[in-house]
């Protein structure tokens, strides 16, 4: 029986929310993509009552190709959003003051998945090839990488041809691209499910190429942090979220099954969600302070990659005030 993501506030939940001594604080979380194990920790925390235990009445909104988390936040449709740091920094520079209050992923899952029979064995073989790339803010690590390698993205024998890839892996099967963008925890599995074997593929992980940027983090509007009540709610939310992610990392198979219970589309499969949960567990923040802590050095690496690109940069200046540890520190004291 599928579980519907609705408000947890009910008569019983209100009585159970003794942590705050009053009615549960309502918060809405907007995801960056559809219901899947990329977000397992939030669903685990919801399912196991971690949010309720801390007096948080959480609603989770799935994302999708037509949903921009920052726009939902700006329009009042969410209190907290999951986004990637490059996108969040670009949004902040354009005038919407997003602030990172917690970093869930410490490593990037992005990679290029290439056909071995295309003749590509190393990045030196990209010349003259067609590479599938996601846009809408996801292209900047790729463009920075090509700049680092000295490739033009305008095509030609000495450059690379960029194919604007949809959020699927069709181009590698339809002969449109020699490589496609994939995430270790998602689209790479789709490539394998499509019939290609690991022996037929060559993988280039952004982490290993030195061009990885921080991905799934938690963002709020800067002004909301000035409200002590909101700040307290964010801290409780983050505390429960961290607990959910710790459980998901330790129990990826069960976490994948929990995610399936919240998938109202019926599009996800058990095997895919379990595989995704296992891969996602490898990407979670490995900071000495634990999941949820944004390491300043990792933040600065992302900023440097974005600023150093010779292509049109996603940001044009060093950001200020784009993250805070205030919420993490408050959560640690709960």
Closest CA to 47 of 206, 245, 198: 245
- Residues 306-326 pLDDT 10s: 888 666 667 899 999 999 999
pLDDT at 20 over 60: no
Q: What is the pLDDT of residues 274-310, one digit of tens each?
A: 999 999 999 999 899 999 999 999 999 999 988 886 6
| Helix count and strand count (H, E) for the chain | 14, 10
Between 167 and 6, the more confident residue is: 167
| pLDDT (mean) for 210-217 | 94
Is the per-residue pLDDT at 9 higher than 60? no
- Of the given ranges (58-62, 147-151, 200-204, 229-233), which has the lowest mean pLDDT? 147-151
How confident is the model over 49-79, as pLDDT tens digits? 999 999 999 999 999 888 999 999 999 999 9
Does the pLDDT value for residue 14 go beyond 60? Answer: no
Query: Which tokens go with 152?
Result: 């033009």
Q: Stretch 69-91: mean pLDDT, rounded?
A: 95
Check residue 311 and give its pLDDT.
62
- Which pLDDT belongs to residue 3? 63
CA dist., res. 233 & res. 227, Å (int):
10
- Is 62 within 8 Å of 29 (Cβ atoms)? no
Q: Which of 50, 71, 72, 98 is nearest to 219 (CA)?
A: 98
> 291's torsion region: left (phi>0), alpha (psi -120 to 50) or beta?
beta
Q: Output the pLDDT for position 15.
A: 38
**Local structure of 167: helix, strand or coil:** coil
Reply yes or no on whether the pLDDT at 18 is more than 50: no
| Residue 171 confidence (pLDDT) above 90 | yes
* Percentage of the residues of the chain whose pLDDT score is greater than 70: 92
Euclidean distance between CA atoms 316 and 307, whole angstroms: 6
Residue range 176-185: average pLDDT? 97
How would you label 218-247 residue by residue, b for 16+ Cβ within 10 Å and e otherwise?
Answer: bbbbeebbeeeebbbbbbbbbbbbbbbbbb
Regarding predicted confidence, which is higher, 294 or 87?
A: 294
pLDDT exceeding 90 applies to what percent of the chain? 79
Q: Give the model's pLDDT for residue 258.
A: 98
- Interval 104-133 mean pLDDT: 97
Residue 5 has pLDDT above 70, yes or no: no
Mean pLDDT of the chain: 91
Predicted confidence (pLDDT) per residue in 27-47, tens digit = 999 999 999 999 999 999 999
| Strand ranges in the chain using DSSP code E only, listed in sequence order | 25-30, 56-61, 80-83, 98-103, 110-115, 130-133, 161-164, 179-183, 201-205, 217-221
Reduced to 3 DSSP states, what percent helix, strand and coil does the chain have, rounded to the nearest 5? 40, 15, 40
Output DSSP code: residue 121: S
Those residues whose C-beta lies under 8 Å from the C-beta of residue 138, and which sit 6 or more positions away, are: 84, 86, 87, 110, 181
Is the pLDDT score of 16 beyond 60?
no
Q: What is the mean pLDDT of residues 207-225?
A: 95
| Lowest mean pLDDT segment, chosen from 114-128, 131-145, 216-230, 231-245 | 131-145
Q: What's the mean pLDDT in 202-206? A: 97
pLDDT in tens, 262-277: 999 988 999 999 999 9
**Predicted confidence band at 8 (pLDDT cuts at 50, 70, 90)?**
very low
pLDDT tens across 123-165, in order?
999 999 999 998 876 787 888 889 889 999 989 889 999 999 9
Structure tokens at 104: 């869930």
Instruction: State the DSSP code for 284.
Output: B
All domains in the chain, ordered by first residue: 11-107+214-332 (3.40.190.10), 110-209 (3.40.190.10)
Looking at residues 184-189, what average pLDDT do you find?
Answer: 96
The phi and psi torsions of 153 (rounded to 5 degrees) equal -100, 20
């Amino acid at each position: 029986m599928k579980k519907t993501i609705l408000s947890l506030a009910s008569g019983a939940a209100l009585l159970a929310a003794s942590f705050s001594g009053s009615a549960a604080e309502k918060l809405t979380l907007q995801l960056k993509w559809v219901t899947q194990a990329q977000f397992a920790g939030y669903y685990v925390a919801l399912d196991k009552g971690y949010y309720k235990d801390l007096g948080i009445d959480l609603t989770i909104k799935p994302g999708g190709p037509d949903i921009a988390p920052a726009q939902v936040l700006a329009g009042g449709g969410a209190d907290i959003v999951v986004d990637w740091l490059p996108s969040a920094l670009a949004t902040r520079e354009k005038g919407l003051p997003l602030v990172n209050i917690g970093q869930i992923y410490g490593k990037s899952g992005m990679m290029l998945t290439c056909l071995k029979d295309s003749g590509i064995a190393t990045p030196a073989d990209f010349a003259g090839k067609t590479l599938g790339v996601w846009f809408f803010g996801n292209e900047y690590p790729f463009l920075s990488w090509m700049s680092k390698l000295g490739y033009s993205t305008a095509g030609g024998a000495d450059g690379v041809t960029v194919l604007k890839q949809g959020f699927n892996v069709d181009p590698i099967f339809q002969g449109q691209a020699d490589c496609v963008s994939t995430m270790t925890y998602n689209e790479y599995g789709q490539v394998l499910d499509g019939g290609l074997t690991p022996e037929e593929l060559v993988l280039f992980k952004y982490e290993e190429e030195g061009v990885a940027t921080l991905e799934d983090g938690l963002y709020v509007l800067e002004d909301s942090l000035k409200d002590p009540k909101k700040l307290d709610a964010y801290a409780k939310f983050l505390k429960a979220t961290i607990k959910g992610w710790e459980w998901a990392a330790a129990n990826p198979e069960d976490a994948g099954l929990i995610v399936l219970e919240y998938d109202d589309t019926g599009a996800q499969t058990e095997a895919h969600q379990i595989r995704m949960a296992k891969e996602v567990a490898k990407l979670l923040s490995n900071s000495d302070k634990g999941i949820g802590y944004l390491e300043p050095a990792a933040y600065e690496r992302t900023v440097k990659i974005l600023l150093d690109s010779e292509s049109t940069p996603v940001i044009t200046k060093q950001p200020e005030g784009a993250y805070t540890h205030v919420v993490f520190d408050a959560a640690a004291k709960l």
